[in-house]
Amino acid sequence: MTTEQEIRLGHYAVIEEVGRGGMGIVYKAQDLKLNRIVALKVMVGENAQSAAVQRFIREAKTIAKLNHPNIINVLDVGWEGNYYFFAMDFINGCSLDDAIGNRLLTYNSTLEILVTVAKAIDFAHKNGVIHRDLKPANVMLDSQKKPIIMDFGVALSLDESVQLSRSNVMVGTIGYMSPEQLEGKRGHVDRRSDIYSLGVIMYKMLTRRDAFFGTSAQIINKVRTGQLIPLHKIKGNLPKDLQYICSKAMANNRNHRYANAAEMARDIQLVQQGKKVKRKDSFFMKFAVVRDTLKHKKNLHSYVLWLVVVITGFILGANFSPVHDMPHNWTTSLWSDCWNGHYVDFSAKKWRELSLKDQQLYARSYQTWYANKVNVPQEFVHKTGVMMILIPPGKFIMGSSPSEKGHQKHELEREETIFAPYYIAKYEISVAQWDSDTKERNKLHPISNITWEEARDFCVANGMLLPREVEWEYACRAGTTTPFATGNDLQTSRSIANVTNEQGVNSWGCSNMHHNVREWCRDKARSAKNVKPVVGDAYFKLPSQGNIMRGGSWGGKNNKKNCRSAARFSSTRARTNIGFRPILSLSYLVNKQPNIFLSTPFVTE
């Protein structure tokens, strides 16, 4: 490809790349004939008869017949040598995905966008087109926040005479695909599949978190078995009708979803107007998840584990009396203010007014009470010899305020909620636990000088995980609100001690979280300015690179790191003052199923 070809396709001069996907690359380009800026989607084809090229041209034809203000407009189709392209309106704005991540949407604009997108999809459906890949990245917002649906590359045209879509192949994006799309059977996909995807988009817009996360296999299993945290568990202040709309759109059984996108748009508009949504078949919608799950017999084992967690949560939420059943030493007024039926709110005003000694006492009592209620051990020894400590669910204030001594710009103060319990290692992994055959003299010292990847592999091999930052800090604070879990200051730790030396044991029994070595977390660093972190990410103003590590260590300036202190380091490099402590899910205790991390904490704002 020559330099001239790189910048010129027909009468279009390429300016810069703005995106790419499975069907081609999108460029910002200058239309030299009409002197206007366009978006140019380009693909390379082996020959004009190839199925890929035909699908590419079909995408342009599909969009061209959808003349709607909220669907991207095709202006031209052409080719230059082996380069096939079509020109579209250039949208000067950002993707819906970016708008969600950067918190550019208000509650009202969120509902307005959902209504507009649903109506546009209904228009496409009435014209015989199923999108099949609806997701926030495929919706652009212009400068006025007007949504434009993009990327019809895998759209299904119901009147298409030529079979260009492959049968029995999953088409779409995992995490937004409906259960029937995951089956890969084209005959089972219809307009209700798009409605499911709209529901997933709605979920993310309202919560600013993915409905499903994990590995591809874990996400597929969650979608098929309906493992979804209800909206009210994440956003308790949302109107119940919105929760109903989202649940109905995302019903596993397509017969329980909206029959068309216009009905979904109508119900959202009723919420906008402050009117009641007329509900139908609510019992069947609740029952559908269970019934549909039982159809997937291969997933029955996973379902049983999931059901155990769900039932436990139900018992916690429904049957624990805030007055007659509370932890030892708690006062009735404190319990009433801090217990919400599911977890303790450590960010509550009354809790923050407690002395450090009382916070430690009550947090320890809560941990014991919770273990008894859920009927799981407060601590146990893992097969590797690692002592694991139960971390009960709760809401807490993560990070620090700008006025706090030692505050760093990336330590943004915010409320986070851990919805499910988990276990964390009492100590850092030791040299002996890392390698049982080691001949090292200091076998009880924490393992160090290992890369993030090596720590991750150790965890995976033993059915464990590295903690997320939010999981690490929550376990470190253990209900306290001071900079350190043991108070406002910390005695300097200048040397590595045996992991069993219980320096700075916190309320829940975790030791050495401010001492010994810094500890790898699962998160990658992300670069952003004045953006609130989301689950799984830490933000720095410097360019993004490496993984996050938490806690203090024996060396230099790292010997007095508090609960909130974070740093980053390349995942492929090691240092003598970096080690790790893993976490573990409750499902491991049910019957040693390390790959089903059912109790992964879910985080809200």
Percent of the chain residues past pLDDT 90, beyond the cut: 38
As a whole number, mean pLDDT of residues 285-303 equals 43
> What mean pLDDT is reported for the chain?
78
Under DSSP, is residue 282 helix (H, G, I), strand (E, B) or coil? helix
Residue 158 has pLDDT above 60, yes or no: yes
CA distance 382 to 588: 10
Contact 513, 504 (CB under 8 A): yes
* Helix/strand/coil (H/E/C) assignment for every residue in 402-436: CCCCCCCCCCECEEEEECCCEEEECCCCEHHHHCC
Neighbours of 53 (CB within 10 A): 18
* Helix (H) or strand (E) segment spanning residue 547: strand 547-550
As a whole number, mean pLDDT of residues 24-38 equals 93
Compare 305 and 263 and report the one with higher pLDDT.
263
CA distance 209 to 213: 9
Q: Which of 213, 220, 204 is nearest to 172 (CA)?
A: 220
Q: Could you tell me which residues come within 8 angstroms of residue 549 by beta carbon, excluding any fewer than 6 positions away?
A: 518, 519, 520, 521, 566, 567, 568, 569, 578
Neighbours of 142 (CB within 10 A): 14
CA distance 418 to 275: 33
Neighbours of 406 (CB within 10 A): 12
Q: Which of 249, 230, 217 is nearest to 134 (CA)?
A: 249
As a whole number, mean pLDDT of residues 512-529 equals 74
Joined together, the tokens standing for residue 146 give 């007007």
Q: Which of 388, 566, 352, 581 is nearest to 479 (CA)?
A: 352
Residue 597 has pLDDT above 70, yes or no: no
For the chain, domains (ranges, CATH) are 3-89 (3.30.200.20), 94-295 (1.10.510.10), 316-591 (3.90.1580.10)
Kindly give the pairing relationship between strand 518-527 and strand 578-579.
parallel
pLDDT number for residue 159: 60
CA distance 440 to 449: 14
pLDDT grade for 317, boundaries at 50, 70 and 90: very low
Contact 168, 185 (CB under 8 A): yes
pLDDT number for residue 79: 86
Binding residue numbers for ATP: 41
As a whole number, mean pLDDT of residues 265-275 equals 96
pLDDT number for residue 311: 42
As a whole number, mean pLDDT of residues 523-550 equals 52
Joined together, the tokens standing for residue 479 give 């209900």
- pTM for the whole structure: 0.50
Compare 486 and 163 and report the one with higher pLDDT.
486
pLDDT number for residue 592: 44
Kindly give the pairing relationship between strand 83-89 and strand 36-44.
antiparallel
What is the DSSP secondary structure assignment for residue 328, as one 8-state letter?
A: T
Q: Could you tell me which residues come within 8 angstroms of residue 584 by beta carbon, excluding any fewer than 6 positions away?
A: 382, 388, 422, 423, 424, 463, 464, 465, 594
pLDDT number for residue 401: 63
DSSP 503-545: TT--TTS---TTSSSEEEEEEEEEE-SS----TTEEEESSPP-
pLDDT number for residue 551: 81
Joined together, the tokens standing for residue 513 give 């979280």
Alpha helices in 167-281 (DSSP H): 179-182, 191-207, 216-225, 231-234, 240-249, 261-272
Residue 340 has pLDDT above 80, yes or no: yes
Alpha helices in 65-106 (DSSP H): 96-101
CA distance 473 to 252: 35
CA distance 457 to 471: 19
Which conformational region is residue 175 in: left (phi greater than 0), alpha (psi within -120 to 50 degrees), or beta? left
Joined together, the tokens standing for residue 517 give 């070595």
pLDDT grade for 137, boundaries at 50, 70 and 90: very high
Contact 590, 308 (CB under 8 A): yes
DSSP 100-115: HHTT---HHHHHHHHH
Q: Could you tell me which residues come within 8 angstroms of residue 435 by beta carbon, excluding any fewer than 6 positions away?
A: none
pLDDT, tens digit (0-9, with 9 covering 90-100), for 550-590: 887 665 454 445 445 555 555 556 677 789 999 988 755 54
pLDDT, tens digit (0-9, with 9 covering 90-100), for 78-118: 988 778 899 999 999 999 999 998 889 999 999 999 999 99
Kindly give the pairing relationship between strand 8-9 and strand 12-21.
antiparallel
Residue 309 has pLDDT above 60, yes or no: no
* Helix (H) or strand (E) segment spanning residue 63: helix 51-64
pLDDT, tens digit (0-9, with 9 covering 90-100), for 538-550: 333 334 457 788 8
pLDDT grade for 37, boundaries at 50, 70 and 90: very high
Residue type, position 212, single letter:
F
pLDDT number for residue 81: 79
Sign, Cα dihedral of 319, 324, 330, 332 = positive
> What is the dihedral angle through the alpha carbons of 124, 129, 130, 132, rounded to the nearest 10 degrees?
-100
Compare 187 and 224 and report the one with higher pLDDT.
224
pLDDT number for residue 270: 97
Binding residue numbers: 41
* Helix/strand/coil (H/E/C) assignment for every residue in 548-586: EEECCCCCHHHHHCCCCCEEEECCCCCCCCEECCCEECC
Sign, Cα dihedral of 220, 225, 230, 233 = negative
Q: What are phi and psi of 418, to 5 degrees?
A: -100, 110
